Amino acid sequence: MCGTCGCSGGSEGGTGTRIAVPHAHPHDGDHENGHGHEHENGHEHSHLREHAGPHRGHARPVAIRGAAGGGETITLEQRVLAKNEDLAARNRSWLAEQGIVAVNMMSSPGAGKTTVLERTIRDFAGQRPVAVIEGDQETMLDADRIKRAGSTVVQVNTGAGCHLDAEMMRDALITLAPVSGSLVLVENVGNLVCPALFDLGERSRVVIISVTEGTDKPLKYPYMFAAADLVIINKIDLLPYVDFDVTRCEEYARSVNPGLRSLAVSATTGEGMGDWYDWVAGQY
Ligand code: MG
């Protein structure tokens, strides 16, 4: 739990979460607040929707301290995470029923998540349906990029929140309505801390690190790398110009998560992206 920054597990807790689709989408303008709208073709999402009601309430991740000097601390973080785990399990069950693979993509800002997604969408065109959930604090910028790349996309703006959670994932899936067999790529909010703590119900977790970052990122942010199923080292086309040791970074990553797979790619040039596509195929 992100106790220091005070982020919550709830999407209605005052962080201003909004779920929206890019302009010119058939559902244009229908989803500005993202909650409680009806999807005309949404009956295939009944499993997600019918469980929505009882889980709308939120416990905030705050500690309540006894006022009379007793030092009693009741931490609600466990309740928030337990609620999130429950919703994540429902998401995971629904996705499995639909034969949909959801991959949670996490990284620092600027590591190249959106660029990896754009290239993946273009290279998968005609082979595998791809749908994208874009998480950012503000703007539709990434959703617009993804739409231009040819994918259906939902933008989740978390406001002050620094991660996606399972409720946002559920609401985004209802809006996105991915077809059976889809690959759902979830671009989480860019940071290496909070997103690692919130299960979305995804099939697998990928952390992207770029060679313009420090080789020692896995040691500095071990929880993220411990939670990952795959590390993608991106922007390897820039290796001649930066001080980054791919092998050492991989060693650091495996020091916190033995057996963690890693791939080195350039989403700009396409180098190594085939290995990423093979990994995706192995998730089905
Ligand atoms: Mg992005």
pTM of the predicted protein model: 0.81
- 180 CA to centre of ligand 1 in angstroms: 25
- 26 CA to centre of ligand 1 in angstroms: 23
SS3 157: strand
Question: Is-contact 264 245, C-beta < 8 A?
Answer: no
Looking at residue 26, its pLDDT comes to 40
Structure-block tokens of residue 182:
């889809």
What is the Cα–Cα distance from 137 to 188, expressed in whole angstroms? 10
**pLDDT (tens place) for every residue of the chain, 284 residues total:** 554 456 654 444 445 788 888 875 444 434 434 333 334 444 444 467 654 433 333 333 333 343 444 445 556 677 778 899 999 999 999 999 999 999 999 999 999 999 999 999 999 999 999 999 999 999 999 999 999 999 999 999 999 999 999 999 999 999 999 999 999 999 999 999 999 999 999 999 999 999 999 999 999 999 999 999 999 999 999 999 999 999 999 999 999 999 999 999 999 999 999 999 999 999 99
pLDDT tens figures, 94-114: 999 999 999 999 999 999 999
- 228 CA to centre of ligand 1 in angstroms: 19
- 254 CA to centre of ligand 1 in angstroms: 26
SS3 assignment for 162-207 = CCCCHHHHHHHHHHHCCCCCCEEEEECCCCCCHHHHCCCCCCEEEE
- Eight-state DSSP code of residue 66: P
How far does Cα 135 stand from its chain's mean position?
7
- 235 CA to centre of ligand 1 in angstroms: 15
The residues, ordered by sequence, that sit 6+ positions from 168 with a Cβ below 8 Å of its Cβ are: 11, 17, 19, 135, 156, 158
- Domains of the chain (ranges plus CATH)? 35-281 (3.40.50.300)
